[in-house]
């Protein structure tokens, strides 16, 4: 671990302080460019996929002003002071919304000091709120936002003994101030193999523990005064945990439940019916087997389109056609790879879903609109429509093609500097190759080996 820490430290200083935009060094210019942008922008000439009522607009214009979309269409009046961005021959879409990530709470998976995603042995579970630990200066954020990821649900993971992981927060990836769009946006928990492991080895024990928690929270909500005066029995969870579950039981906050096997999904649906929960299935490797039941219950699924191998017994039914089959059955789907370091690769995963039967436009929606709908944020983001926050991406080509890149990214109307620590290191060493004498001896010598 000592040597790993030394390597990480060396990587952090690989760029000079004046060059870095990853938040480890003072880079006020790059950060202020993202956070404070009062300009008006006119993105013109591109093929605009609004994902809203206007649909596809050829040679369209997206007008961005005061952080919001002021107008979208083929014939938009452009103010004289607007900065024009030529998107001719390119595609313009809403930004990507990652529905389950660890942005800002996990930096290096192998270094425990950089992991804040789980409560571990804490006595708290449902009350655990990742918002208090999010680092908006994480190196991972600029790497992914310049690839079109503009907004994300930052979610906790289950610790060593908790069925309920805690609450997630929705952030935008464009600022270090006011970056939390919505705190306590969802409750996360696990059943299936993960839940069974934490409950002593059985799925039945995991379900029993979750039911007990929900029943206790309901009893607490109905008898708060009696509990405060010590006239109520003790509960399995702490007072803060019970209070945190209140919005879940009231249907105000979704319960995102990690389940993979078809039978576990059916058990989760029964639980949701019993407690009238707003359920979201996460994982869902075998969700296609119970697609009709999910559609009838209006339960959405967060899935990885690339999941097709039986890595666990609960994923024996994995298939690349999962997304297509769910969509055809009427299930609302959203894509999440689970790889925060490379969340940007979700576009490639979406492309594979298209190759296996999912309509192209539905794949776009699963990246951009559907996560917003699932978390009740589609009034703010997810489509390019007047009045919504201007999360906009200009793509060099088809967003689902592997060779396509984001040319311009806007987050809440702020034009994102298209730089990250990775691009700066690339540029530094590309320059060293082109002109060795432009670098100090420390950079020249390795090139001669």
Place 434 in a pLDDT band, splitting at 50, 70 and 90: low
State yes or no: pLDDT of 428 exceeds 50.
yes
- CA dist., res. 151 & res. 145, Å (int): 9
- pLDDT for the residue 94: 98
CB atoms within 10 A of CB 294: 27
Phi, psi of 417 (to 5 degrees): -60, 125
- pLDDT for the residue 381: 98
- CA dist., res. 359 & res. 2, Å (int): 49
Q: Which residue has the higher pLDDT, 424 or 21?
A: 424
- pLDDT for the residue 435: 67
Place 61 in a pLDDT band, splitting at 50, 70 and 90: very high
Best CA proximity match to 406, nearest among 419, 395, 418, 390: 395
**Domains of the chain and any CATH numbers:** 2-93+415-447 (2.30.40.10), 96-381 (3.20.20.140)
State yes or no: pLDDT of 439 exceeds 70.
no
- Say what angle helices 322-329 and 360-368 make with each other, to 10 degrees: 90
Mean of all residue pLDDT scores within the chain:
88
Q: Which pTM does this prediction carry?
A: 0.89
- CA dist., res. 410 & res. 34, Å (int): 9
Best CA proximity match to 100, nearest among 158, 47, 146: 158
State yes or no: pLDDT of 27 exceeds 60.
no
State yes or no: pLDDT of 38 exceeds 90.
no
State yes or no: pLDDT of 103 exceeds 50.
yes
Instruction: Collapse the DSSP code of 251 into the 3-class scheme (helix H, G, I; strand E, B; otherwise coil) and give the result.
Output: coil
pLDDT tens-digit readout, 193-207: 999 998 888 999 999
Return the residue matching tokens 């001719």. 88
pLDDT tens-digit readout, 154-204: 999 987 678 999 999 999 999 888 999 999 999 999 999 999 998 888 999
């Amino acid at each position: 671990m000592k040597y790993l820490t030394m390597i990480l430290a060396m990587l952090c200083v690989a760029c000079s302080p004046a060059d870095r935009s990853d938040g480890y060094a003072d880079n006020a210019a790059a950060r202020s460019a993202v956070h404070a942008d009062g300009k008006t922008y006119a993105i013109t000439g591109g093929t605009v996929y609004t994902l809203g009522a206007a649909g596809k607009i050829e040679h369209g214009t997206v007008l961005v002003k005061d952080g919001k979309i002021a107008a979208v269409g083929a014939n938009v009046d452009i103010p004289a002071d607007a900065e024009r961005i030529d998107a001719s021959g390119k595609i313009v879409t809403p930004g990507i919304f990652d529905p389950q990530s660890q942005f800002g709470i996990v930096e290096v998976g192998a270094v425990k000091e950089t992991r804040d995603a789980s409560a571990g042995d804490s006595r708290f579970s449902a009350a655990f709120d990742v918002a208090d630990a999010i680092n908006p200066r994480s190196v991972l954020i600029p790497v992914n936002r310049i690839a079109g990821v503009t907004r994300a649900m930052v979610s906790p993971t289950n610790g060593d003994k908790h069925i309920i992981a805690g609450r997630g927060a929705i952030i935008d990836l464009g600022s270090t101030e006011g970056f939390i769009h919505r705190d306590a946006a969802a409750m996360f928990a696990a059943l299936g193999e993960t839940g069974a492991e934490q409950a002593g080895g059985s799925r039945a024990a995991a379900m029993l523990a979750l039911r007990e928690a929900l029943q206790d929270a309901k009893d607490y909500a109905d008898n708060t005064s009696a509990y405060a005066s010590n006239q109520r029995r003790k509960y399995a969870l702490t007072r803060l945990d019970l209070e945190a579950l209140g919005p879940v039981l009231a249907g105000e906050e979704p319960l995102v439940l990690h389940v993979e096997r078809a039978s576990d999904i059916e058990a989760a649906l029964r639980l949701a019916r019993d407690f009238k929960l707003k359920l979201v299935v996460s994982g869902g490797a075998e969700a296609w087997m119970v697609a009709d039941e999910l559609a009838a219950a209006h339960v959405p699924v967060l899935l990885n389109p690339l999941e097709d191998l039986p890595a666990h017994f609960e994923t024996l039914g994995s298939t690349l056609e999962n997304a297509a089959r769910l969509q055809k059955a009427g299930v609302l789907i959203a894509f999440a790879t689970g790889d925060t370091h490379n969340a940007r690769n979700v576009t490639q995963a979406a492309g594979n879903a298209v190759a296996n039967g999912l309509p192209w436009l539905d794949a776009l929606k699963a990246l951009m609109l559907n996560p917003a709908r699932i978390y009740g944020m589609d009034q703010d983001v997810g489509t390019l429509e007047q009045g919504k926050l201007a999360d906009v991406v200009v793509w060099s080509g088809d967003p689902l093609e592997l060779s396509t890149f984001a040319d311009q990214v806007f987050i809440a109307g702020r034009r994102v500097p298209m730089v990250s620590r990775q691009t700066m290191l690339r540029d530094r060493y590309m320059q060293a190759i082109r002109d060795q004498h432009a670098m100090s001896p420390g950079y020249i010598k390795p090139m001669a080996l």
